[in-house]
């Protein structure tokens, strides 16, 4: 049995996934000094440039998803972006106590959004998605 998503549900999913990235793009800007310092501690080269590139990427791609434009490209970019970000910043297995639990929650919630973005890619371009799974 094939699940067919209603137009309203499809639009809501795109709005929520896009909003997630737009919201955290702006939120990260408010915390840029802290985030850039953490990136430098983690020896990420050109931390400031990488930070701003990341913020611009997540904000623009999130907006494009909300506007239903370039959906497969935007969602694909954000999938890669988000997986990289959680493995750089939220490696919960390296922490102890409450900070471990907080990072575990962030890690899992980010990967849940990745699943939503994967569904958007599969829905917008099934052939691209299948070829990606095969290769």
55-67 residue pLDDT tens: 999 999 999 999 9
Residue 18 CB neighbours (<10 A): 25
Query: Closest by alpha carbon to 75, among 61, 60, 54?
Result: 61
- pLDDT reported for residue 9: 81
Q: Is the pLDDT of residue 43 over 80?
A: yes
98-134: pLDDT as tens digits: 999 999 999 999 999 999 888 888 877 655 545 555 5
Packed helices 97-124 and 126-134: angle between N→C axes, nearest 10 degrees:
120
85-99: pLDDT as tens digits: 899 888 899 999 999
Q: Which residue in the block uniquely carries the two structure tokens 């430098």?
A: 40
Q: Are 59 and 78 in contact (CB under 8 A)?
A: no
pTM for the full model? 0.80
Mark 81-116 as b/e (b = at least 16 C-beta within 10 Å): bbeebbeeebebeeeeeeeeeebeeebeebeebbeb
Q: Is 123 exposed, middle or buried (0-12, 13-18, 19+ CB in 10 A)?
A: middle
- pLDDT reported for residue 5: 58
Q: Is the pLDDT of residue 3 over 70?
A: no
- Give the pair of three-digit tokens for residue 41: 């501690």
- pLDDT reported for residue 13: 86
The predicted model gives 31-50 an average pLDDT of: 93
């Amino acid at each position: 049995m094939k699940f067919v998503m209603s137009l309203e549900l499809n639009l809501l999913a795109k709005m929520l996934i896009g909003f997630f990235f737009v919201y955290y793009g702006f939120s990260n800007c408010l915390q840029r000094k802290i985030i850039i310092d953490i990136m430098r501690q983690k020896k990420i080269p050109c931390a400031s440039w990488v930070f701003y590139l990341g913020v611009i990427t997540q904000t623009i791609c999130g907006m494009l998803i909300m506007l239903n434009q370039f959906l497969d490209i935007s969602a694909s970019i954000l999938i890669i972006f988000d997986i990289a970000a959680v493995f750089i910043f939220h490696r919960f297995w390296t922490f102890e106590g409450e900070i471990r639990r907080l990072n575990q929650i962030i890690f899992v919630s980010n990967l849940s959004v990745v699943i939503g973005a994967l569904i958007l890619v599969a829905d917008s371009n099934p052939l691209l998605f299948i070829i990606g799974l095969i290769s």
